[in-house]
C-alpha cells in the first residue's frame, strides 16, 4: 500500500470493503476528495467505468466460489452451494427447478445444471447483480418472470434446448413431463396432468421440438373444454390423439369439440 498514515490506511480499507474497489481505485478516489469518504463515494459512483471494474471483481469472486475444483465450470455441487447461499430450500424441488430455469434463461445457459464462466458472469451482469445479497433481493422478481405473459413463451422455448441431453434432438419423456408440470403449474393449465398421463400411456417416447412448440400453441389458443378445437385443424397427430383420449375417458364431452 502507498506510504500512508494509519487514518488514511483505515479509510482506504473502508472504501475497499464497501465498494469492492481495488486499492489503487480507493486511493485515487480518496485523494481526489481530499480524503473525505463521502466525497470519495460520490466520485466512485458517478463514474460507471470505474464501478464496472469493481463489479467485475465481485463477479469473478462469486464465480470462483461456485466453480468446480477440476473444471472451469459451475456444476451441480456449485449450484447446490449457490442455492444454499441464496437460502433457496433444496428440498423444495419445484422452487429450485423454477429458480434454475429462469436464472439459466437469463444466463443463456446451454446445458441444465451447468454454467460456464461467461454464462454466469454475463447473466448476473444482465440482472444487475454483483453480490449474493443483491441476488437474494432479486429472487422474488426472478421467480415472478415465469408468470409473465410476454416472457413465458421465451422461457418455455428456452426450456426445451436447456433440458435436453447434449447431442440429442429430442427431449427425454420423463424430463419433458417434469418441465411441463413446472411450467404449466404456474400458468394453471387444467389439462396438464391429463396430458402427462396420456403421453405415458399412449406415447412413451421422447418429445420432439415440434411437439413441444405446438403444445404451447394448443394451450394458448384452445380452451380447456375444447369448445374451440377444430378436428380439421392443422394440429400434430399427437395433439389430435390427446383430444380423442380426453373424450374416450370422459374428461371432455364430444359435443364440445367442433
Largest CA distance in the chain: 88
* CA trace torsion 51, 46, 30, 55 (10° rounding): -10
* pLDDT value for 73: 96
* pLDDT value for 258: 57
- Residue 156: Cβ-neighbour burial (10 angstroms; 0-12, 13-18, 19+): buried
Q: Are 15 and 29 in contact (CB under 8 A)?
A: yes
CB atoms within 10 A of CB 3: 6
* pLDDT value for 1: 47
Candidates 31, 24, 32, 10; CA nearest to 54 is 24
* pLDDT value for 256: 61
pTM score, whole prediction: 0.75
Total length of the chain: 258
Per-residue pLDDT of the chain (258 residues; tens, 9 = 90+): 456 788 888 888 888 777 766 677 778 788 888 888 888 888 777 765 555 544 677 888 899 999 999 999 999 999 999 999 999 877 777 778 888 999 999 999 999 989 999 999 888 888 878 889 989 988 888 888 888 888 899 999 999 999 998 888 999 999 999 999 999 987 789 999 999 999 999 998 999 999 999 999 999 999 999 989 887 778 888 999 999 999 999 988 766 665
Beta-bridge mates of residue 68? none
CB atoms within 10 A of CB 21: 23
E-state strands within the chain? 73-74, 115-116
* pLDDT value for 109: 94
Cα 101 to Cα 106: distance, rounded to the nearest angstrom: 9
* pLDDT value for 147: 84
SS3 state of residue 116: strand
Amino acid at each position: 500500500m502507498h506510504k500512508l498514515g494509519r487514518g488514511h490506511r483505515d479509510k482506504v480499507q473502508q472504501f475497499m470493503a464497501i465498494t469492492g474497489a481495488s486499492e489503487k481505485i480507493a486511493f485515487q478516489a480518496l485523494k481526489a476528495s481530499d480524503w473525505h469518504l463521502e466525497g470519495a463515494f460520490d466520485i466512485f459512483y458517478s463514474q460507471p467505468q470505474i464501478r464496472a471494474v469493481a463489479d467485475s471483481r465481485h463477479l469473478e469472486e462469486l464465480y470462483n466460489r461456485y466453480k468446480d475444483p477440476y473444471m472451469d465450470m459451475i456444476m451441480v455441487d456449485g449450484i447446490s452451494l449457490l442455492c444454499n447461499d441464496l437460502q433457496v430450500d433444496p428440498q423444495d424441488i419445484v422452487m429450485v427447478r423454477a429458480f434454475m430455469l429462469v436464472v439459466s434463461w437469463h444466463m443463456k445457459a446451454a446445458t441444465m445444471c451447468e454454467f460456464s464462466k461467461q454464462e454466469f458472469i454475463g447473466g448476473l451482469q444482465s440482472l444487475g447483480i454483483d453480490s449474493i445479497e443483491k441476488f437474494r433481493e432479486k429472487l422474488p422478481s426472478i421467480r415472478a418472470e415465469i408468470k409473465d405473459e410476454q416472457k413465458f413463451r421465451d422461457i418455455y422455448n428456452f426450456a426445451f434446448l436447456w433440458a435436453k441431453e447434449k447431442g440429442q434432438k429430442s427431449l427425454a419423456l420423463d424430463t419433458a413431463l417434469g418441465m411441463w408440470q413446472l411450467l404449466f403449474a404456474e400458468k394453471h393449465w387444467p389439462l396438464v396432468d391429463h396430458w402427462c398421463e396420456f403421453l405415458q400411456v399412449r406415447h412413451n417416447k421422447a418429445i420432439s421440438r415440434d411437439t413441444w412448440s405446438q403444445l404451447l400453441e394448443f394451450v394458448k389458443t384452445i380452451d380447456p373444454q375444447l369448445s374451440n378445437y377444430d378436428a380439421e385443424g392443422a394440429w400434430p397427430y399427437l395433439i389430435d390423439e390427446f383430444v380423442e383420449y380426453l373424450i374416450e375417458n370422459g374428461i371432455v364431452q364430444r359435443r364440445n369439440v367442433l
